[in-house]
A and B are shown apart, each in its own frame.
Chain A
Amino acid sequence: MQGMTKPKSSTGDAEKTRHPRRGADCVTVDAAHHSVASEHHRPPAHYPKGSEVQREAVPGPDLREYCSSDKDIVEVVRTEYVYTRPPPWSETLPTIHVVTPTYSRPVQKAELTRLANTFLHVPNLHWVLVEDSARPTALVARLLHETGLNYTHLNVETPRNYKLRGDTRDPRIPRGTMQRNLALRWFRETLGQNATQLGVVYFADDDNTYSLELFEEMRSTQKVSVWPVAFVGGLRYESPKVNGAGKVYGWKTVFDPHRPFAIDMAGFAINLHLILAKPQAYFKLRGVKGGYQESSLLRELVTLNDLEPRAANCTKILVWHTRTEKPVLVNEGKKGFTDPNVEI
């Protein structure tokens, strides 16, 4: 198992850059979290005011809403950032440990690339990428290194079902389970000593789509926080049911709403302390009915009453369970038409 790599220091050798907007807490007046539209991003003067809607790049939320009215405190400092580097590490923000199981297939590099491009905007993100493989692959190792993200690269191979043909994995073990469990074990073995660390664990599959807002919603998780997920269960979205007192009392799903936790993997996050405090809690490996994976872990950690609804009391969609089509490689033929040394 690999140790956690520290984020690279920003080198500031690139062009003047702009740090993307952040919904950051303004209490820590960390100038690095703020940004201002640099000269490069102002449109040329002759952009017409026409019927077309256009706008220059500006930082997102108006930070003045959160801070005091003093202009000099709120005033942002121009900082040299290198594009494609994550935000500087903050000593005060809880870390979001994102656990992503992944496996080799033609779209893998594309999926991990666009996922990384999302994660590069999230402060204090630690990506735990767990390959379903006997050994860490060069493709993933190279990709992770080049992103500049803070990451840990693990691997464990789901046993193949030897009764079926060659590469088919054991269908009794849901995909990703062993990989997620390895991450849980890694947290307990590596981070268990430092009891004061603030962190949240989120299981993010490599083909879903995540808004940036989602990560800020989960950062404050005390035990387990929950929110709606689009495109699961054959619906536009599934959602926890939240009562007037802000408590989860059920599940708005069609598929088996009586599961203990009728929620998708992408719909919850767990406080790291809870993971460390209950070292026996894992996803059940075998004998799990379809849709009960999440319950198999969560029932060891919380009750319904403990759940913290997020995303405006579970009324907003901040994550989508997208799936990528398997590309038709019909023209490769039996022997392969393209050079296998060209990585895709």
Chain B
Amino acid sequence: MRSCSWRCDCTEHDLAKDRTISRLREKLHSLLEQTKKAEPTKPLKPPLPTIYVITPTYARLVQKAELTRLSHTFLLVPQLHWIVVEDSPHRTGLVSEFLSHSGLAFTHLHVATPHERKLQEGDPSWLKPRGAEQRNEGLRWLRENIRSQEGGVIYFADDDNTYSLQLFEEMRWTQRVSVWPVGLVGGMRYERPIVEQGHVVRFHTGWRPSRPFPLDMAGFAVSLRLVLANPEARFDGDAPMGFLESSFLQSLVTMEELEPKADLCTKVLVWHTRTEKPKMKREEAMQKQGLGSDPAVEV
């Protein structure tokens, strides 16, 4: 498309398109001028602490769908850095491609769960704690790459939960460890810390309330500073069922030090949703006949 310079008033070449372009250029230029003029008068705001979201993920049919809808939430959160850690000996093409088109700031890591810690086919999901190695790998990357004077908070977000936007603003200014209710977990509508006079005094949970920290992975965030100050703090993959969170938190904080968020832990801003495994009986039958769907079409 032919075009003229922005100073041209287009009287010399009478093309309607160029007149439109010329008019739009003028408007654009004046908007730019306005923006430049406006900027010095805006009060300088302190930079937002970055929220480092660590998401372990593994290949299965719904993986791309889960990551897709998760990314839509994260795109709406300012100053968020997504650390995706695949349970895999190498980075997969699916996740690599997905992240590069997501529009998010990200780090793509991977570490394979040792065989004996992996759930086997038919194991119930609660049998072995999952994601410990991957979350630890995320912590390792942060420890090696981020300096603590930047502030920042770390949140462990599994790829099938549901997160409200407000949750991220609640956690952003965490000093040590902040906590809040989680919906649809522990066999109940929600689990939550009980707060009295601004401090957590005990936990409302349906299962083993005597655990050091009977809360779900989605129910707390840790300041980057605290993690960097405690280089040994990590998730214990051999911890008994339900103790994974405690294995990490007990070396970092006491119950009294917890910072209650979400209206003193009375609002549910995150839900422990789980996605059904899609039924593949027909697909499997077709594949036996050599008539399965095109594997080159990525789902």
B223 at the interface (CB under 8 A from A): no
9 contacting pairs across A/B (C-beta < 8 A): A73-B3, A84-B76, A113-B271, A121-B72, A228-B297, A231-B299, A330-B187, A331-B206, A332-B188
A338 at the interface (CB under 8 A from B): yes
**A236 in contact with B145 (CB, 8 Å):** no
Name the contact of B73 in the complex, choosing from A117, A254, A336 (C-beta under 8 A).
Answer: A117
**B105 in contact with A57 (CB, 8 Å):** yes
Contacts of B257 in A (CB 8 A): none
**A57 in contact with B103 (CB, 8 Å):** yes
**B299 in contact with A344 (CB, 8 Å):** no
Name the contact of B65 in the complex, choosing from A31, A106, A320 (C-beta under 8 A).
Answer: A320
Contacts of A84 in B (CB 8 A): 76, 165
Contacts of B276 in A (CB 8 A): 322-325
**B31 in contact with A231 (CB, 8 Å):** no
Q: How far is the CA of A117 from the CA of B268 in the complex (A)?
A: 17
Query: Of B25, B35, B103, which is in contact with the most chain A CB atoms at under 10 Å from its CB?
Result: B103
B9 at the interface (CB under 8 A from A): no
Within 8 A of A (CB), among B261-295: 266-268, 271-276, 278-283, 285-286, 292-293
Contact flags A50-68 to B (C-beta < 8 A → 1, else 0):
0011111111100000001
Stretch at the interface among A41-49, A171-179, A289-297: A41-49
14 additional A-B residue pairs with CB within 8 Å, beyond A109-B183, A209-B68: A31-B28, A40-B47, A70-B3, A77-B31, A110-B162, A110-B183, A209-B69, A254-B282, A317-B64, A320-B65, A322-B66, A325-B273, A342-B192, A344-B190
Q: How far is the CA of A196 from the CA of B128 in the complex (A)?
A: 59
B21 at the interface (CB under 8 A from A): yes
Interchain residue pairs A-B with the least CB separation, the first 6: A331-B206, A234-B282, A331-B187, A110-B271, A320-B65, A231-B278
A72 at the interface (CB under 8 A from B): yes
**A331 in contact with B69 (CB, 8 Å):** no
Count, chain B residues at interface, CB 8 A: 84
Contacts of A120 in B (CB 8 A): 72, 76
Chain B residue nearest to A211 (CB atoms) is B68
B211 at the interface (CB under 8 A from A): no
**A231 in contact with B61 (CB, 8 Å):** yes
**A15 in contact with B45 (CB, 8 Å):** yes
B189 at the interface (CB under 8 A from A): yes
Within 8 A of A (CB), among B57-81: 61-62, 64-66, 68-69, 72-73, 75-79, 81
Name the contact of A54 in the complex, choosing from B76, B101, B107 (C-beta under 8 A).
Answer: B107
Closest CB of chain B to A306's CB: distance in Å? 25
Contacts of A162 in B (CB 8 A): none
Q: How far is the CA of A237 from the CA of B65 in the complex (A)?
A: 13
- Given contacts A109-B271, A320-B299, A322-B275, A337 and B188 within 8 Å (CB-CB): yes
B127 at the interface (CB under 8 A from A): no
Name the contact of A317 in the complex, choosing from B28, B104, B206, B297 (C-beta under 8 A).
Answer: B297
Name the contact of B293 in the complex, choosing from A46, A48, A235 (C-beta under 8 A).
Answer: A235
A288 at the interface (CB under 8 A from B): no
Contact flags B162-192 to A (C-beta < 8 A → 1, else 0):
1111000000000000000101101111101
Chain A positions within 8 Å of B, measured between CB atoms, are 15, 17-18, 20-21, 29, 31, 40-41, 43-44, 46-48, 52-60, 68-70, 72-73, 75, 77-78, 83-84, 106-107, 109-111, 113-114, 117-118, 120-121, 209-212, 228, 230-231, 233-237, 252, 254-255, 315-317, 320-325, 327-332, 336-338, 342-344
Chain A residue nearest to B32 (CB atoms) is A77
Name the contact of B28 in the complex, choosing from A77, A210, A234, A327 (C-beta under 8 A).
Answer: A77
Contacts of A338 in B (CB 8 A): 188-190, 204
Closest CB of chain B to A338's CB: distance in Å? 4
Closest CB of chain B to A266's CB: distance in Å? 12
Name the contact of A315 in the complex, choosing from B3, B279, B297, B299 (C-beta under 8 A).
Answer: B297
Chain A residue nearest to B20 (CB atoms) is A29
**A234 in contact with B187 (CB, 8 Å):** no
Q: How far is the CA of A251 from the CA of B78 in the complex (A)?
A: 43
**B206 in contact with A77 (CB, 8 Å):** no
Chain B positions within 8 Å of A, measured between CB atoms, are 1, 3, 6, 21, 24-25, 28-29, 31-32, 35, 45, 47-48, 61-62, 64-66, 68-69, 72-73, 75-79, 81, 91, 96, 99-101, 103-109, 141, 145-147, 150, 162-165, 181, 183-184, 186-190, 192, 204, 206-207, 266-268, 271-276, 278-283, 285-286, 292-293, 297-299
- Given contacts A31-B31, A77-B35, A329 and B189 within 8 Å (CB-CB): yes
Closest CB of chain A to B264's CB: distance in Å? 12
Contacts of A72 in B (CB 8 A): 6, 25, 28-29
Chain B residue nearest to A341 (CB atoms) is B266
Name the contact of B184 in the complex, choosing from A73, A320, A327 (C-beta under 8 A).
Answer: A327
Name the contact of A53 in the complex, choosing from B75, B91, B103 (C-beta under 8 A).
Answer: B91
Q: How far is the CA of A114 from the CA of B138 in the complex (A)?
A: 25
- Given contacts A15-B78, A230-B65, A322-B62, A53 and B271 within 8 Å (CB-CB): no
**A344 in contact with B72 (CB, 8 Å):** no
**B188 in contact with A47 (CB, 8 Å):** no
Closest CB of chain A to B245's CB: distance in Å? 18
Name the contact of B103 in the complex, choosing from A59, A68, A109 (C-beta under 8 A).
Answer: A59
Closest CB of chain B to A294's CB: distance in Å? 18
Contacts of B271 in A (CB 8 A): 107, 109-110, 113, 344
Contacts of B206 in A (CB 8 A): 330-332, 337
- Given contacts A18-B78, A21-B103, A236-B283, A344 and B275 within 8 Å (CB-CB): no
Contacts of B282 in A (CB 8 A): 233-235, 254-255
Contacts of B266 in A (CB 8 A): 342
